[in-house]
């Protein structure tokens, strides 16, 4: 079993999402002897944004790309290969301004490639990354679960499903900025949810 952990916080040691994602990965490793873990820290090593230069590189036939274009496409290829090889994916997703981080959005843009991770058919789009279990750790300063302001969960569920990853578990740690007691309760609740995961 191969586990891929995606950290998307701009913070490092002080990141609740990174810490809880690591604890979730450790829980999976303990449950599956022989499993391996690969960590992609998008905060420590940000992936480049999808811009016009990147699009030109992606839409240029491989044999006609310049060295610079080849290098840019190779960066996306590396993220896609990691995801294709993974059996389980753990994503740490802090809430920034009611959405996901720019770091996570750049990863999403990089791994979304027609003909590779999804394809269009006469019946509509078909995700090609099937058979994977995904765990998403959602960390928030306030309380947003099951409210109209929770834009993260519906977006991530829709996106992951679009790529064929429909088996998704969400772990919530909310109220992290509402005082020490609320923070402690949020972390305790999240860790209890993690302990029940398989």
Q: Is 17 annotated as a binding residue?
A: yes
Q: Is 96 annotated as a binding residue?
A: yes
**For residue 127, how many other CB atoms are within 10 A of its CB?**
16
CA gap 67, 90 in Å, rounded: 33
Q: Is 7 annotated as a binding residue?
A: no
Q: Is 59 annotated as a binding residue?
A: no
- Selection from 186, 66, 163 nearest residue 111 by Cα: 163
Q: Is 140 annotated as a binding residue?
A: yes
- Residue 119 neighbours by CB under 8 Å, 6+ apart: 125, 126, 128
**Beta-sheet pairing, 133-139 with 167-173:** parallel
Q: Is 15 annotated as a binding residue?
A: yes
Q: Is 139 annotated as a binding residue?
A: yes
Distance of CA 62 to the CA centre of its chain: 27
Q: Is 43 annotated as a binding residue?
A: no
- Selection from 30, 31, 8, 38 nearest residue 20 by Cα: 8
Q: Is 16 annotated as a binding residue?
A: yes
CA gap 80, 107 in Å, rounded: 9
Distances in Å between the Cα of 198 and the Cα atoms of 20, 25, 172 are 16, 11, 16
Binding site for FMN, by residue number, is: 9, 15-17, 95-98, 139-142
Binding site, by residue number, is: 9, 15-17, 95-98, 139-142
């Amino acid at each position: 079993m191969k586990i891929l952990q995606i950290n998307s916080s701009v913070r490092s040691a002080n990141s609740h999402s990174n810490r809880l994602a690591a604890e979730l990965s450790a829980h999976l490793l303990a449950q599956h002897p022989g499993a391996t873990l690969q960590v992609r820290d998008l905060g420590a090593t940000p992936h480049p944004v999808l811009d016009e230069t990147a699009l030109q590189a992606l839409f240029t036939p491989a044999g006609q790309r310049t060295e610079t274009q080849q290098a840019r496409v190779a960066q996306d290829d590396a993220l896609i290969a990691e995801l294709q090889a993974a059996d389980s994916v753990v994503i740490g997703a802090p809430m920034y301004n009611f959405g996901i981080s720019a770091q996570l959005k750049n990863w999403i843009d990089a791994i979304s490639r027609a003909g590779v991770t999804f394809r269009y058919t006469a019946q509509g789009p078909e995700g090609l990354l099937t058979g994977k279990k995904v765990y998403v750790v959602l960390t928030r300063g306030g309380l947003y679960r099951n409210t109209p302001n929770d834009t993260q969960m519906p977006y991530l569920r829709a996106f992951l499903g679009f790529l064929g990853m429909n088996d998704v578990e969400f772990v919530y740690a909310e109220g992290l900025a509402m005082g020490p007691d609320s923070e402690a309760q949020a972390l305790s609740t999240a860790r209890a949810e993690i302990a029940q995961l398989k």
